[in-house]
Structure 1
Amino acid sequence: MSSLKPYLQKNVKVITVDGRLFLGMLEGFDNNTNIVISSAKERVFFKDRPTEDMEMGLCIVRGNEVVAICDYDEEEEAVTDYTNIHAEKLKDTKNSLI
C-alpha cells in the first residue's frame, strides 16, 4: 500500500463498505490497508436534520472495510456549512445474501 504514503500525517476522509464517512489524520497503515486515524470523527448525514460530526479520537479501520481514502483541505472544511447539507445514508457496498 505504498500508494498511501503521500497521505501519512495528512487529513483524510475514509468511506467504509457500510457507508460510513470518517475524517482525521492518517497516522499509519499496513499491507492489508488497515489504517490508524487520529483526531477521528464520523460525519453522519441525515435527510431531515443537520449533519453531525461525532468525535471518535483514535480510530482503527480494518482494511477490508475501506472503500476509498482521499485527502481534504482543512480550510475548505472549516468554511463549509454542513448543517445545511442533508442526505440519505449511503448504502453499503456489501453483497446481500438474500
Structure 2
Amino acid sequence: MSTGPGLESLVNRMYNRQANEFLCAETISIITNDGRIIVGTLRGFDQATNIILDESHERVYSTREGVQQLALGLYIIRGDNISVVGELDEELDLVNDLSKIKAHPLKPVIH
C-alpha cells in the first residue's frame, strides 16, 4: 500500500537540518478507512504509518446539522486504518464556520 507523495512531503518537513532532531508539532487531518475524519497535533509515527495525535478531535459531518467535533485527546491510529494524511492550515481552518457546513459523511473504503 502506497502512502502517496503528500505523506512523504510531510514526513520530510518534520526533520530539520539534523536528521536526528525530530520536529512533530504539525496539525494534520486524517481520513480513516472507515470514513472518519480526525484532526490533531502530530506527536509521532513509525514505519508502518501508525500515528500518534495529541489534542485530537473527530469531525462528524451530517446533512441535517453542522459539523460536530468530538474530543478524543491523545489518540493512536493504526497505519493499516489510514487512507489519507494531510497537513491542516490552522489559519484557513479557523476561517471556516464548521457549524454551518453540512455534508454527507464519507463512506468506508471497500477493498
Instruction: Provide the TM-score with structure 1 as the length reference.
Output: 0.89
Aligned counterpart, 1:69: 85
Instruction: Please list every run of 5 or more consecutive structure 1 residues that lacks an aligned counterpart in the other structure.
Output: none
Deviations 1:3-44 (A, max 9, x none): 224253100000000000000111100111000000000000
1:60 matched to 2:76? The reply is yes
Larger radius of gyration: 2
Number of residue-to-residue matches in the alignment:
95
**Structure 1 consecutive aligned stretches of length 4 or more whose deviation exceeds 4 Å:** none
Percent sequence identity is: 32
Task: Please name the residue that 1:6 is paired with.
Answer: 13
Q: Which has the higher strand share?
A: 1
Q: RMSD across aligned C-alpha pairs, in angstroms?
A: 1.6
Q: Which has the higher contact order (CA 8 A, sep 6+)?
A: 1
Structure 2: gaps spanning 5 or more residues? 15-23
Q: Provide the C-alpha distance between the structure 2 equivalents of 1:5 and 1:58, rounded to a whole number of angstroms.
A: 23
Alignment TM-score, normalising by the size of structure 2: 0.79
